[in-house]
Structure 1
Amino acid sequence: MIDEAYPVPFTIERRRAPRAVVLTNRSPERLTALSFSVLGAGLLRTSAPLILDPGRQVRLLVSGQELPRRGIVVVRWFRPDGSEYLWRITF
């Protein structure tokens, strides 16, 4: 069985990167168990997994003394059908 392509449901605001990145859910779906992790130097303030309704935003704050020029944040979420997705953002 071949699944249809699924567009990434987020738009990214990078004006304050690498210290802050804002994600907006531009899909018509409620995204659940949204969580984030950072790869490389830096700390990402985390919280319990989130629910992000259509049109809502989440701000990711990255801290650390020596942030890299290019960091990677991994975003994880579930769609309403229970499918899990991972997406990497370079900032």
Structure 2
Amino acid sequence: MPHLTDVPPRSREAAYPVPWLVDRSRLPWCTLRNVGAERVTDVATQFFGDGWAEPAVPRASLSPGDELQIVFFGERAIASGQVTVHWRRPDGREYAWTFVC
């Protein structure tokens, strides 16, 4: 049976802030902006809900300040949708973050 002394100490690394700002002011178009300090690569999106959403121009990477436009299709896509963004940081670690439309 494990003991408390067998548990490794927690990392002292600061939490990684999500580098995304979502602008919904022009729905059914949604803008995802990289507000972080790093260039992110392998950027991909998944849509969950009624309808679908697609990036207007698929991009493999986004530098700080770059944007990705996403358009929603379907009667209930905006009301019911969630978008998950996947990306990699320069060190190769992969992240995912979900936002609601």
Give TM-score, length-normalised by structure 1.
0.86
Q: What are structure 1's unaligned runs of at least 5 residues?
A: none
Looking at structure 2, the residues matched to 68 and 84 of structure 1 have their Cα atoms a distance apart, in angstroms, of: 27
Measured after TM superposition, the shift of residue 71 of structure 1 is 1.4
Report if the CA contact (8 A) 2:53-2:77 is conserved: no
How many aligned positions are there?
Answer: 90
Identity percentage of aligned residues: 32
Q: Which has the higher contact order (CA 8 A, sep 6+)?
A: 1
Query: Deviation at 1:48?
Result: 5.0
Q: Which runs of 4+ in 1 moved over 3 A?
A: 46-49
Q: Decide which structure has greater helix share.
A: 2
Are 1:31 and 2:40 counterparts?
Answer: yes
Match of 2:67 among 53, 57, 69: 57
Q: Of the two, which has the highest radius of gyration?
A: 2
Counterpart of 2:98 in structure 1: which amino acid? Answer: R
Q: Which of these residues, 8, 11, 20, is aligned with residue 21 of structure 2?
A: 11
